[in-house]
Amino acid sequence: MEPLFGVVLALIVAAASPANDSCTCATNKWAVCAQDGPGNCTCRLAGSDHPVDCSTLTSKCFLMKAEMMPLKEEPLWRPPQGVLDSDGIYKPDCEDSGAFKARQCNQSSSCWCVNSAGVRRTEKGGRSLSCSELVRTRWIYIELTHKRRSNPFHAPDMTEALRQLFESRYKLHPKYIAAIRYEPPLIQIRLHQHKKPSWDVDIADVAYYFEKDVNNDSVFHSNSKLTVSVNGDTLAIDKLWIYYVDEKPPEFCMRQLAAGISAVVTVVLLTAGIGVAVLLILRWLRTRTYKKFECKEMRE
């Protein structure tokens, strides 16, 4: 009887194990998943009650929010105020759809306006700061360099490899990949998305996933290191830059431009003033020398 019971128990465990193993979110390692029925796995965002669609990318706003949640298994709790003033990582306010709220604030009553990629586009102000709309990021320029090699990659092979990467790994429709340019060792990828249909991923989410992959902090559940093969050769990414271009220019650009123009005008005025002063001094010295020479001739 006991051997038969052991066999039955082993079969139950074997049947249950695949179900438990499959109850994970492939596109979000921060999602908390639970088996709530035979073959039914529900995943929710860590630290909130938002359901996660694991068949596509999670919004950047939800990812940043989950990333700022202290993990239970960490022996030390990371205080939120440690990164409040960082423009790169902060705990954002998100809409139920996963979009960033136009105004973001921290616990020190400092607020600012962001674009649809969550990037600050105004100077920081107080709680009275008003952000009338969430300005969409229409263009994203990704620049990266690879480690130098004796033979550069073939440009068409590089283009094809990166297109396949963005289409297969990040679920990005090829129509949003505007251009890929390769001038060894620099690679430029231009993404364009004027409007995002509900069934397509956002280019801002794609850029965030890609950035995390390059920095060896993948959001995917497998957490595997990103490997890109170009015609059989591994692409070793060295450096990465991401630029965001909105439908409307950032509101602090004019202030920076005005400050730059003021600095240029100041330099020009100082240079002109110094030049005039030098000319006056030279004229005075020349006049003084002439008068001395004239007085000497009169004495003679």
* Residue carrying the six token digits 């107080």: 126
Segment 218-236 shows an average pLDDT of 88
Extract the runs of DSSP E, i.e. beta strands, from 46-176: 103-105, 111-113, 137-146
Q: Is residue 23 in a domain?
A: no
Examine residue 287 and state whether it is found in any structural domain, yes or no: no
Query: What number is the average pLDDT over the span 131-150?
Result: 93
Number of domains in the chain: 1
Residue-averaged pLDDT of the chain: 80
Instruction: Please check whether residue 2 lies inside any domain of the structure.
Output: no
Residue bearing the bigger pLDDT, 296 or 131: 131
Residue 168 backbone dihedrals phi, psi, to 5 degrees: -85, -45
pLDDT exceeds cutoff 70 at 20: no
Residue 126 domain-assigned?
yes
pLDDT above 50 for 160: yes
Q: Which 3 state secondary structure label does DSSP give 94?
A: strand
To the nearest whole percent, how much of the chain has pLDDT over 70? 75
Q: What is the DSSP letter of 51?
A: B
Give residue-wise pLDDT tens across range 197-223.
989 999 999 999 999 999 999 999 886
Which domain, by its residues, includes 44? 31-69+86-246
Q: Which of 14-28, 59-73, 172-186 has the lowest mean pLDDT?
A: 14-28
- Asked if residue 142 is part of any domain, the answer here is yes
pLDDT score for 262 = 57
Vertex 89 angle, CA 207 and 120, to 5°: 75
Query: Would you say residue 3 lies in a domain?
Result: no
Mean pLDDT calculated for residue range 88-109: 88
In a domain, 4, yes or no: no
Amino acid 18 reads P
Q: In this model, does residue 239 exceed pLDDT 90?
A: yes
Task: Report yes or no on 233 lying in a domain.
Answer: yes
Nearest to 159 by CA among 142, 182, 141: 182
Statement: the pTM of the whole predicted model exceeds 0.75: no
